[in-house]
Structure 1
Amino acid sequence: MHRKRTASATALALALAVIPLTGMAGPPGATGPAGREATRDSPGAAGSGSAVSPTPQSVRSRSDRVTVTPSVTVVAAPKADAAALALVEKSLKEAGADRVVRAGRAPGGKQLTVYVDGTGAARTLRELGARGTDGLPAEGYALAVGEGRIALSGKDVTGTYYAAQSLRQLLPHRERPGAQVRGTVVRDWPATPLRGVIEGFYGTPWSHRARLDQLDFYGAHKMNLYVYSPKDDAYLREKWRDPYPAEQLTQIKELVDRARARHVEFTYALSPGLSVCYSSDADLKALTAKFQTLWDIGVRTFAVPLDDISYTDWNCAADKDTFGTGGGAAGTAQAHLLNRVNQEFIAKHPGAEPLQMVPTEYYDVKPSPYKKALATQLDGNVLVEWTGVGVIAPTMTVAQARQAREVFGHQILTWDNYPVNDYVTNRLLLGPFNGREKGLPEQLAGITANPMIQPAASKIALHTVADYAWNDRAYDARASWGAAIEELAGGDARTTRALRAFADANYSSSLNPQQAPELAAAIKEFGTSGDARRLDATLRGLQDAPAVLRDRLADRGFLDDGEPWLDATHAWGVAARTALRLIEATKAGDDAKAWQLRQRIPELVRSAKSFVYVDMTGKKIPVLVADGVLDTFVEDAVAAHDRALGITGRPKGSTDLSVYQDNAVSRMTDGDDATYFWSGAAPQAGSYVELDLHAERPLGTVTLAMAKTGSPDDYLQHGVLEYSSDHKNWQRLATFDGKAEVSVDPPAGTKARYLRARATQAQDNWLVVREFTVAGSDRTTAAGGPPAAEGSALRSAVDGDPATAYRAARAAHPGEALECTPDTPRTARSVTVLRPQGAPAGAAKVEVRTGGAWHTLGTLSGAYTRLAAGEGAIENVRLTWRAGSAAPEVNEVILH
């Protein structure tokens, strides 16, 4: 769905004609492998810290420096690119020059002279020891800085523009003249002809202003292609036959003009597949007429995507009569239509770029009748777009690209579905372009990336896409990611740190499976060193990052895009720092402080989870930030506190399945049958959901409640329940088939720490688990009063979960008591009573019964009360309330 500038149309068409299936030719005279120069001089090599991005194919430093003088002369060839000249002059002024003048030759004296194309640039390049543009492919360029001069020259006008972009990065930003610029020699060219972005996602479309801003960004990063394919533009899909309203066509023309000014080819992608009749002359005429209206406003590149449609159902009876049925018939029909468009429109419009198409089978390399029909019948100069192996391909290899070229029989332009997030709208995907093998661009006509719904937030990932597509051999994903962050932060150190922390917390995707790698490493290091101050500094940086960005980041669009994620980041930072303090208080044995902190955490977590992204339909979708890292850290801190109190707490759920939207695995252990875990994919053989009981204990009834209203078949169709004490050796508890509700009583005396439900066969349906629970034999029951308020229960005081609380419906009557009885008498060193912060002292007398007799241990002292239990096995614990006191509340009564 993407293509290149008109100025290089001839070069591209020639490239498509001569590129063999085994690889793309490099610049003539190249001596290194894969058509690249044999050496990469510092600092252009990967990781060398070059100031130019994308990293040039060849760049070396000179020993001298050039001074930006008050007056600078630009000597340009008569037909030098106007956009390149404007950029050179603007960059010189931003570097401190007071006056930039154009002249036919260099003036005398010591003032800086800049040569742009022509004989002056060629001569200066030679004198500065730089090779010129001979032998470079389209868009290549040469640039040299030294001896009081700067020279830049492009293989074509776009190459000159890219040379100007590189010079822009080499020059400093100064308010006055006198800056020193290091002598540098660059010879550069792209690894693949086409590099760009396809606005092809579902969901809230980009604004017109955002699209203009994106085109500026692409030009600055040497991306030469933008494909206009927003799914919400009805005139591209449902109303593809209808002409555009004048106002909308005017906006598209403005995009076309901006793209041309930035040396970006605007590609118009019309998607008729929902209703087209492939054999219809009328539909062909409607399609080419639509293209003509776009041609008239300057579009020179066209695409016909035929993705996300059915090819088993024809839109007209004539197609069935003409082509037959099945995948091969669909391929034949599509080739028939596209060939007519290619021959009757593209070929008859001089200057048009090669036609592009997206096949219906765009996501694999498996031979099929459909692909065979395209390979054998589609005109050879049509570009075929391909997403890799999978709609969202975690990796993409040279071998796969070769297979794609072979099976489709055409040059391949990748439609890479990264960083697109329309399938995970609860996430920002701010990690780098990853998992793409070096050497891949040589196998391709080009690389295009499908961005996020959030345009400005897409810039971090798109920066890395541009780096890879231009020079994959030098590409380092982490280094490129860091450079993208620094650029977006404007080079400001504090803003860069804040943006890096935020991007790290929104890092993971199919291409980057590890979430928040830097934060996760800091938490892991804390687990080893115990240095709480160091981790707190990291968490404080994360907590404060949103405020820093809102105060200092120049790209306000990024702040608009990331608003709910910024809010959630701050809230999770507060929750995590509170959890860290809980860990430290627990370690120090400061029980009262630990309980005070523990009580704050549920509300902090609720706040962190409360922020939502509102999609174009008005649906509110809770956002995720550093999920699996921050939430796990908080959960682990609470679990450690539970262990210190002597309780196991609520079991912790886990799974190897992806999660659909916000239906987290924790929902299957929250005690609420109305909430549920919902997988984001169908279970395969071996897929599982699991419970960690935190400690080995006797097992009571195990219950697995799956499926839900509206998804009655979303359960493990064939599975097994298993248990383990060490997470290595698993014992079978029961098998089940075709049952959404499973309940099993383990043999008496069965003990375990872990339980899991594992699929024994692959299935098509996803998995819903409403509740996964296990009863224990060492239970404590509660009785007495006052009666519980609505929504509460007496048992909450002894359920092993301090996050739940028994709340009385009224004040206590004289002699009224809450009595807690373990299943069997239990020896304990202490009795602990946890109550809400601010609970009054003296509200109840604490008694235990041992040997059939009651003994008073003391009175409640506040939110946290711990009393020595005395001798003997405890048969009961009783809290006898003081008459007239406020309605009692108890989070937990613990024997430990």
Structure 2
Amino acid sequence: MSEAPAKRRRSVLLLVAAGVLAAALVVAGWFVVSRDRPGGTGGPGGNMAGVPSIFPVPQHARAATGAAVPLTGHVYVVAPPGTDQASIAAVQDLVTGTGGTAEVVAQLANPRDGAAAVHLGTGSAMGPALKALRVDGDSSLRDALGRAEGYAIATGQPDGIPTAVLAGRDNDGVFHAVQTLRQLLKAGSVAPVLVSDWPLMQTRGVIEGFYGTPWSHQARLDVIEFAGSQKMNTYIYSPKDDPLLRDKWRELYTDQELEELRELIDAAAANHVRFSYALSPGIDVCYSREADLEDAVAKLESLYALGVRSYVIPLDDIATKVQCAEDLREFGAGQANLAKAQASFLNDVNEKFISAKDGVLPLETVPTFYNGSPSTPYKRELGQALNPGIVVQWTGEDVVSHRITRKSAETAGQTYGTPDASRSIVIWDNYPVNDFSHDHLFLAPVIGRDADLHRSIHGIVTNPMIQPYLSLPAIFNYADLSWNGPAYNASNSMNAALALLAGPDPEVQAAVRAFVDLNQDWQDDELTPSAPELRRDIDQFWAEYDAGTQHSGALRNRAGLLQRLPALLPRMAEPGFALDGSTWVAAAAEYGRGVEEALTMLEAAKRGDTEAATAARTRVQDALKTAGAKTQPTLELGVVTPVLGNSELASFLERALQRVPAG
């Protein structure tokens, strides 16, 4: 969809340690991006003093009286029958990771001295445990346990036993509570808290919907696990260059392909993420042809047998008119009649498959005209003819929208709906997708989305980059934004994301900061200026150089750090980040070498050492040439040159070369 503009599995223990690290580093101001927005940790929805930072930011969190709950000794994991098994296993791993011993029991009877307890289950089963902590009357807790996916965490010492209670409105809520528990751990103990939390958007997730090399199977597994750990609930399988989704949509999968899909579906279920399958027949479908309808239903049936219960029929990036003689005879020409034909087909799929199956969520579609909120003949006809239960995915006012407002989303719901009822809208958000700019990475935080979008839409899914692991920071941001938009703070959220992915090594943290700084620019958006930290160091250098004052050394230090990126970034907690960005990392290192040589050249020229300046000048030119080489392979464009902070880096080198002309 976004091509239209011109322009290893990580262990639970790693996430535990990194989650705690994220809290500490955010508080310390570990990473500061150049823009901000109101909201965040102060005030409603934010974290109060004494509570570790939690992401996504919860609706309510406050410090409780009493001591922390240690998980370093013998810990009873009290899980009544029917409790979510993935949540139980995750708590066991948490306890093991702190050095404790977990014993799973259905009820707590005759606990040993010095033991602690973690109760988890749905609200009805957790009633006695919450009552024992004397929090069952808390109004925010009741709110949380009355909402889908809501959860509450409380701590205390009933009968002298250090206890944490994780109660969910449903099993999804229980799983979300465990993700928060990870972040409440400090030195092996759970901070004394009362957390009452629930999501504001019903759909929160990732759509693999870009053009270009599809993600690997392992990358999909890792992204699904990451999404679940951030309380997202949706992964939409829609890679544009999977031929069995589009070009060969009628063909069924082989047994081997079905087995891989089954593994993805099972992994999604284990992480409380719904796997949604997107079939895109619009390239050559004949909407009125019974055989095409039967082929579509047969394809969806094959996925239903694997456990898929959520489906999308995208009709984006196709011809804007009907394509077969049967459709022309039945519906006529023109865009309004295209909408009528598509609505007929979608309604038939809905009737023959979606409505006929147990447990299947409402069908979703992507219209051929999927952006812009004003009414058009196509949208008006689609809204009138399409079954009112079918959800529409929409990209905002533009294909790649820099701003998405609540008002715009409300208008879109009305435009794709009827005068009597607005259409349910899910935003397909084309950020940080880079399929229209294969030479760029987009690592700026998510900005420009209204904090109260949840009041107008069903949910939001991010369309990531071709590089899955480099997309994780933005996925983290979207999880935060879609869970609790009024409390979302772009800087804080990105700080936490980068700390999580970097791990505890200070050198690695500095390297991540430097690399991300080089990849801030998003299509010349004024809120995401290119390489702000690098630009600051360059401006400071020229001011000092021209004034003849002592150099601070900041630019030389940054040049040295850039040269060390190839060695430092692979040491991140998430090594896939460095692998995804290897060609950009190599280019950054070459630019770093060029900057260091340019500084040597300028200093030599200033002291009159022509020989040294000339030698350094040659090395600057060599680095500039190497950094500009085509090294990044693409699926359709061949090999391209990685672009990162080039306007700052290349401009600095060119300016330095002009200051020291060739002798």
> Residue 238 of structure 2 aligns with which residue?
229
The corresponding residue for 1:582 is 601
When normalised by structure 1's length, the TM-score is 0.64
Tell me the distance in 2 between the aligned counterparts of 1:381 and 1:151. Answer: 38
Alignment partners' CA distance in 2, 1:44 and 1:380: 43
SS in 2 for 1:520: helix
Aligned-residue CA RMSD in angstroms? 2.3
Q: 1:279 aligns with which of 285, 288, 310?
A: 288
| Cα offsets for 1:627-649 (capped at 9, x unmatched) | 1111111122222334xxxxxxx
Aligned residue for 1:543?
563
Counterpart residue identity of residue 245, structure 1: T
Q: 5 Å matches for 1:721-800? A: none
**Greater Cα offset, 138-147 or 325-334:** 138-147
* Corresponding residue number in structure 1 for 2:31: none
* Whole-angstrom CA distance in 1 between matches of 2:194 and 2:175: 17
Q: Which residue is equivalent to 1:697?
A: none
Query: What are the residue-to-residue correspondences of 1:448-847 with 2, within 5 Å?
Result: 448-510=461-523, 513-529=528-544, 531-550=551-570, 552-617=571-636, 619-642=638-661, 802=662, 834=663
Amino acid at match of 1:491: P
Shift of 1:128: 8.7
Q: Deviations over 1:111-163 (max 9, x none)?
A: 21111122344324534985434464211110123432101111111011000
Quick check: 1:121–1:153 contact (8 Å CA) kept in 2? no
Residue number among 344, 352, 370 corresponding to 1:344 in the alignment: 352
**Alignment match, 1:446:** 459
For 1:333-482, what aligned pairs fall within 5 Å after superposition? 333-409=341-417, 410-482=423-495
Identity level (%): 39
**Does the CA contact (< 8 Å) of 2:469 and 2:577 recur in 1?**
yes
Q: Which has the larger radius of gyration?
A: 1
For the residue of structure 2 that corresponds to 1:353, the secondary structure is coil
**Number of residue pairs the alignment of both structures matches:** 601
Q: Closer, same or farther in 2 for the Cα pair 1:61/1:590, shift >3 Å?
A: farther
Asked whether 1:303 is paired with 2:312, we answer yes
Query: Which of 128, 139, 146 lines up with 2:149 in the alignment?
Result: 139
d(CA) in 2 for partners of 1:125, 1:350: 39
The structure-2 alpha-carbon separation of the partners of 1:120 and 1:310, relative to structure 1 and needing over 3 Å to count, comes to same
**1:187-336 pair list within 5 angstroms:** 187-312=196-321, 314-336=322-344
**Residue identity opposite 1:67 in structure 2:** P
In structure 1, C-alpha distance between the alignment counterparts of 2:72 and 2:554, rounded to whole Å: 47
Judging changes above 3 Å, is the alpha-carbon distance between structure 1 residues 282 and 513 closer, same or farther for their aligned structure 2 residues?
A: same
The one-letter amino acid paired with 2:364 is Q
- SS of 1:448's equivalent in the other structure is strand
Aligned-residue offset at 1:42: 5.6
Aligned partners of 1:565 and 1:611 also within 8 Å? no
Q: Which amino acid aligns with 2:261?
A: I
Partners of 1:635 and 1:49 lie apart in 2 by: 50
CA distance in structure 2 between the partners assigned to 1:434 and 1:557 by the alignment: 25
What corresponds to 2:115 in structure 1? 111
Instruction: State the one-letter code of the partner of 2:57.
Output: T
Distance 1:629 1:120 in 2: 61
Partner SS state of residue 483, structure 1: helix
Partner amino acid, structure 2, of 1:58? H
- Which residue pairs with 1:100 in the alignment? 103
- The answer as to whether partners of 1:486 and 1:492 remain within 8 angstroms in 2 is no
The 2-side partners of 1:626 and 1:50 are apart by 34
* Distance in 1 between residues matched to 2:479 and 2:539, nearest whole Å: 33
Question: Where do 1:44-83 residues align within 5 Å?
Answer: 50-63=52-65, 64-83=67-86
- Contact kept in structure 2, 1:56 and 1:471, CA below 8 Å: yes
State which of 150, 156, 167 in structure 1 corresponds to 2:170: 156
Distance 2:52 2:538 in 1: 32
Matched-pair contact (CA < 8 Å) for 1:121–1:152: no
Which has more strand, going by share of residues? 1
In structure 2, relative to structure 1, the CA distance for the partners of 1:506 and 1:125 (3 Å cut) is farther
Q: Secondary structure at the match of 2:553?
A: helix
Instruction: Identify the structure with bigger relative contact order (alpha carbons < 8 Å, sequence gap 6+).
Output: 2
The CA deviation string for residues 303-334 of structure 1, in whole angstroms up to 9 with x for no partner, is 1000000122x221111111111111011111
Where does residue 796 of structure 1 map in the other structure? Answer: none
**1:156-196 C-alpha deviation (Å, 9 max, x unpaired):** 11011000111012124x6xxxx443212211111211000
Report the more deviating stretch, 467-476 or 130-139. 130-139
SS at match of 1:634: helix
Q: Does the 8 Å CA contact 1:93/1:100 hold for their aligned counterparts?
A: no
Structure 1's consecutive aligned runs of 4 or more residues displaced over 6 angstroms after TM superposition are: none
Q: Which deviations, in whole Å up to 9, do the C-alpha atoms of 1:16-69 show, x marking residues without a partner?
A: xxxxxxxxxxxxxxxxxxxx9995376269xx9943211111111234322234
Task: Evaluate the alpha carbon distance shift between residue 285 and residue 99 of structure 1 in structure 2; reply closer, same or farther with a 3 A threshold.
Answer: closer
Question: Aligned partners of 2:369, 2:133: CA distance in 1, in Å?
Answer: 49
Give the whole-Å Cα distance in 1 for the aligned partners of 2:354 and 2:41: 36
Aligned CA distance change for structure 1 residues 376 and 617 (closer, same or farther; 3 Å):
closer
SS at match of 1:126: coil
8 Å contact from structure 2 (residues 72, 189) kept in 1: no
Question: In structure 1, what residue type is equivalent to 2:483?
Answer: W
Query: Can you give the 5+ residue segments of structure 2 that lack an aligned partner in the other structure?
Result: 2-39, 418-422, 546-550
Corresponding residue SS for 1:267 = strand
Aligned residue identity for 1:111:
A
Q: 2-side partners of 1:549 and 1:516: how far apart? A: 18
The whole-number CA distance in structure 1 between the counterparts of 2:358 and 2:136 is: 40
CA distance in structure 1 between the aligned counterparts of 2:639 and 2:41, rounded to whole angstroms: 53
| Higher relative helix content | 2
Alignment check: 8 A CA contact 1:225 1:264 kept: yes
Distance 1:570 1:228, change over 3 A: same
Q: Deviations over 1:692-732 (max 9, x none)?
A: xxxxxxxxxxxxxxxxxxxxxxxxxxxxxxxxxxxxxxxxx
Looking at structure 2, the residues matched to 39 and 520 of structure 1 have their Cα atoms a distance apart, in angstroms, of: 34
The more displaced of 264-273 and 613-622 is 613-622
Q: TM-score, normalised by structure 2?
A: 0.86
> How big is the shift at 1:100?
3.5
- The whole-number CA distance in structure 2 between the counterparts of 1:78 and 1:291 is 34
Deviation digits for residues 860-895 of structure 1, max 9, x if unmatched? xxxxxxxxxxxxxxxxxxxxxxxxxxxxxxxxxxxx
Instruction: State the secondary structure of the residue aligned to 1:132.
Output: helix
Residue equivalent to 1:860? none
Separation in structure 1 between the aligned mates of residue 280 and residue 367 of structure 2, nearest angstrom: 11
1:246-298, Cα deviation, whole Å (9 max, x unpaired): 11111111111111111111111000101111111111111111111111110
Q: Deviations over 1:746-774 (max 9, x none)?
A: xxxxxxxxxxxxxxxxxxxxxxxxxxxxx
Three-state SS of the structure 1 residue aligned to 2:62 is strand
